[in-house]
Amino acid sequence: MPTDPVLVVHGGAWAMPDEMVEAHIRGVTNALAAGWRVLERGSTALDAVEEAVVIMEDDETFDAGRGSFLNRDGKVQLDALIMDGATLRAGGVGCVEHLRNPVRAARKILSESPHVYFVGEGAERFAAEHGIPLCRNEDLIIPREVEHLGKYQAELAQRDESHHGNDLFAPSGEDATISHDTVGAVALDRHGNIAAATSTGGTLNKAPGRLGDSSLIGCGCYADNESAAASTTGWGEPIMKLVLAKWTADRIAAGNLPEWSAQEAMNYLKQRVNGHGGIIVLNREGHIGIAHNTPRMAWAYKTVKKQEAGVVRES
Ligand code: GLY
């Protein structure tokens, strides 16, 4: 018997200011609509999460694709992962600078490569050889983010002057008021399979070559039909240390509900490594979990009976 599809998306977890809420809700709702069209016509969860993430990569509201945060050198460097819960096949790209939609390249890796992960120039070469056009890094940069980086670096320089010995280029992301607009999606299709995808521009002012959690299997993204599909957002380094997406999926494999497991993941992130962020989770029974330990997280979900979107998820 066909399964009823379910789709959940997120667009970042942080202290999002009021004036940014509408754009975030619109963005996740658009992504939900695109992914849902895929599920409705009977296509796979994998196709659905790819399409949902592409919409958010194309939306400058988010830290993914064009409009992403800039690294220390003023460049966009993108990471993405997609994973199929039915086969455990995965495709990831890291530190790419010339791809508008890194999740499309990740999908090509999943579908057409014996490897799982490509970084930098090799990832871009793989994408180009598989029909994905490259763009200029400038095409991914928007004035808002040039200004954002300039302000941030000026603040750091000032802090450095008043606290001698601080590193001007200290790793960014520790502060929950700093935006974390990584995007992601998890889906259940009519065949009963689940999938997950996550895409990001990483943290503001990151060191060139710094790879976050988003594109690492089990950290920013995970999918296994035997447990759950999960996508995280937030400050990458703590999430990586806990392999948080897999940690959460394991709780579900042990018999816990996604809703409880997502909340536990956020408690664990805070208590164990003082991390902040958010997570979306979905199992094959169509149960969902959405949780964050930041003041806000953009999220949306749709089932055959219900659709909701918001920026606060009460536990
Ligand atoms: N979660 C996105 C990053 O830290 O790269």
Predicted confidence (pLDDT) at residue 165 exceeds the cutoff of 50: no
The enclosing H or E element of 54 equals helix 45-58
What is the tens place of the pLDDT at every residue in 36-57?
999 999 999 999 999 999 999 9
Predicted confidence (pLDDT) at residue 166 exceeds the cutoff of 60: no
pLDDT of residue 177: 63
pLDDT of residue 194: 98
Q: Annotated catalytic, 44?
A: no
What is the tens place of the pLDDT at every residue in 280-313?
999 999 999 999 999 999 999 999 999 999 999 9
CA of 182 to the centre of ligand 1 (A): 7
Enter the tokens of residue 73.
């050198």
Give the atom of ligand 1 at the shortest distance from the alpha carbon of 237. 4
CA of 58 to the centre of ligand 1 (A): 18
| End-to-end CA separation in angstroms for the chain | 33
What is the tens place of the pLDDT at every residue in 222-275?
999 999 999 999 999 999 999 999 999 999 999 999 999 999 999 999 999 999
**CA nearest 119: which of 165, 78, 164, 82?**
78
- Angle of CA points 260, 182, 221, to nearest 5°: 55
Enter the tokens of residue 32.
């939900």
- Angle of CA points 91, 97, 102, to nearest 5°: 30
Domains and CATH numbers, the chain: 6-310 (3.60.20.30)
Average pLDDT over residues 151-178: 68
CA–CA dist 219, 200 (Å, integer): 13
